[in-house]
Amino acid sequence: GQSASEGRRRAPTVRGRMHAAVVAVARAPRISHLASVAAVSIRGEERARARATLTRAASSGPMAPIVELYARVDETLPADPASTPADESHFRAIAPYMNAVEPRHLAMEPPSTSRRSSEDSEDSARPAQGFFSQLLGRAKSSSSSRSPSRSRSRASGIDCINLHHSHRFSMCVFRFNEEGTVIPLHNHPHMTVMSKLLYGSLRVRAFDWADDDDGNPGTPLNVPRLARMVRDERVAAPANAFALYPRSCGNIHVFTAAEPSAVLDILSPPYAIGCGRDCHYFEEVPFGPDGGRAPPGHAWLLEVDCPDDFQVESGEYHGPRFGSGRYD
């Protein structure tokens, strides 16, 4: 949604609401006080020079690694991943190209502190577009009560850099700009997701449904469903790429930043509201429908509304352009 204050407009953030699947593009004013014009101009010139240096470095060589990755993904994934999902063989063909990508190849620099710079604050102040608006675009109305979300994904905490989006796959980078920020427990129905930690470290906690059936990826509110835990560990860069599939390898997961971090994601096919690929959110609860506790290595997951405090901004990209990103 958007909020306004006297004398200036503040950039909107995307929140998890069904009616927000399509959001309007708006840019925040770069300068909020006339007295700071000179200082902002100087800082802007310095940032522009730094960006130009990073962009030249990212684009050097016969083909930038991130562009080479895009080309490999485009030629490897099924023509219609909605009916023929990408599997482990596709991931094995793509993983070496993901592992070759470093932050500098995307004109990124890992932050030296957990505080996001004023550059990011200004440049990221616009709503996330494309598939990510769909990722956040689901919140079922319900009269049920639920415990307040424990996530801490303030608008200043997480942003998304969209690199490419098509009906076959999307590529993006999630940046966790502060320690403790969270992408809450969510699923990827009928989707394959390949991820590479670019820098930092994350705690990854992931589940698959115990009944091994994703035919009905959503569950009614207030009805817990048994899931088996497949991953609960801290991942630190440098680390190899990993993947999840529609029914295995942790299709339902939560990421918690142990420090400022960035993750490169490839989703095939992307989220799509109304096509069976709507994002669902969950919480771990202690008891199942009959009041029993989950067996060892399992957990009861309760579907909930998208947490109200889960907000994501769109980050600026200064690296090589490819795919749909050539036209942004």
pLDDT digits (tens, 9 = 90+) for 197-221: 999 999 999 999 998 655 455 566 6
Q: Does pLDDT of 248 surpass 50?
A: yes
Question: If you average pLDDT over residues 193-197, what whole number do you get?
Answer: 97
The C-alpha atoms of residue 6 and residue 58 are separated, in whole angstroms, by: 41
Q: Does pLDDT of 74 surpass 70?
A: yes
Inter-residue contact 140 to 180 (CB < 8 Å): no
pTM higher than the cut 0.75: no
What secondary structure does DSSP assign to 224-272, as a single string?
-EEEEEEEEEEEESS---EEEBTTBS-SEEEEEESSSEEEEEEEESPPB
pLDDT of res. 101? 97
Q: Quick one: 10 exposed, middle or buried, by C-beta within 10 A (0-12, 13-18, 19+)?
A: middle
What average pLDDT is seen over the chain?
75
Q: Which of 211, 210, 215 lies closest to 230, judged by CA?
A: 210
Instruction: Express each pLDDT in 92-119 by its tens digit.
Output: 999 999 999 999 999 998 887 434 444 4
Q: Which of 189, 119, 183 lies closest to 157, judged by CA?
A: 183
Length, in residues, of the chain: 328
Q: Which amino acid is at 284?
A: E
Other CB atoms closer than 10 Å to residue 156's CB: what's the count? 18
Instruction: Express each pLDDT in 168-191 by its tens digit.
Output: 999 999 999 999 999 999 999 999
